[in-house]
Amino acid sequence: MKHKFAAQLYTLREQVKEDFPGVLRQLKEMGWAGVQISGLHGYTAEEIAAVLKETGLGTAGMHVSLDRLKNELDEVLNEARILGTRDVVCPSLPGELKNEEGYRSVRRELNEIASKVEAEGFRVNYHNHAFEFETTVDGKSALEYLLEPSSDNRVLAEIDVYWVKKGGQDPVQFIQPYANRMPILHLKDMSKDESGTFAEVGTGVIDFAPILQWGENNGVEWYAVEQDVCPGDPMDSLRLSLANLNKLAEQAN
């Protein structure tokens, strides 16, 4: 399981702007198996790929805006090839699409993109927040609509367990329908205080042991750890999250 733990680089968005290669080397030294790309921050895909090769870090997908997926698809796929990943992930949606009509158009557009790229081995995924639970489409939450596990829906899940809990759902129960439809699972903890803010994995209220067990039984290839806001140095937060995940991995064996 330890070979599936990846750091989502949004956590280190300020650090990578200054020294992306140095950040990657630090993460490898810390013990991460991979990273999830969230923008190149002025570097070329070739420059980052060279450091990934040097360090042996894997690429746990790329977060790419819906706008880029629609308007720069060839460039996105070229970056994915260079960086060594099959997975392009829509990470969020603009405000004007957060309604029933918008979600219908997003599902249609993501399926159209997926149908174009799957012959080349690429997969289209969607990463959630809590806002998708605020809209109902066809009698279910907008998130369940977008990720419906049906034969005519090519959109794969990248469930963020923190945002599922923030949306009032139980993460373990919510992920059940996405067996073998979720190559990447987002791990993020929720603090124990009333704020329910972001916390290092293993320090908050989410029980990750059954989530990891489900992932191992149902086709998860990467567990990407993201912490949107950290109390101090984001590197320290990632170090603590990885240490706690490694303990859970050892207990599972």
Q: What is the pLDDT of residues 45-61, one digit of tens each?
A: 999 999 999 999 999 99
CB 63 within 8 A of CB 127: yes
**Across the chain, how many H-helices and E-strands are there?**
10, 12
Q: What is the pLDDT of residue 232?
A: 97
Q: What is the pLDDT of residues 82-135, one digit of tens each?
A: 999 999 999 999 999 999 999 999 999 999 999 999 999 999 999 999 999 999
Please, what is the average pLDDT of the chain?
A: 97
Angle at 54 between CA 52 and CA 55, to 5 degrees: 65
Confidence of residue 146 (pLDDT cuts 50, 70, 90): very high
> At a CB cut-off of 8 Å and minimum separation 6, what does 110 contact?
66, 69, 90, 124, 126, 146, 154, 155
Q: Tell the residue number behind the tokens 């916390």, with chain if given.
A: 199
Confidence of residue 252 (pLDDT cuts 50, 70, 90): confident
Q: What is the pLDDT of residue 78?
A: 98
Range 216-221 average pLDDT: 98
Q: What is the pLDDT of residue 115?
A: 97
More confident: 100 or 253: 100
Q: What is the pLDDT of residue 16?
A: 97
| Residue 91, burial from CB neighbour count under 10 angstroms (0-12, 13-18, 19+) | buried
The residue type of 129 is: H
Residue 222 sits in which domain range? Answer: 2-252
Total number of residues shown for the chain: 253
Q: Tell the residue number behind the tokens 């190149």, with chain if given.
A: 40
Confidence of residue 142 (pLDDT cuts 50, 70, 90): very high
pTM of the model: 0.97
3-state secondary structure of 227: coil
CATH of the domain at 34: 3.20.20.150
Count how many domains the chain has.
1
CB 62 within 8 A of CB 80: yes
Rounded Cα gap, residues 56 and 100, in angstroms: 43
Confidence of residue 250 (pLDDT cuts 50, 70, 90): very high
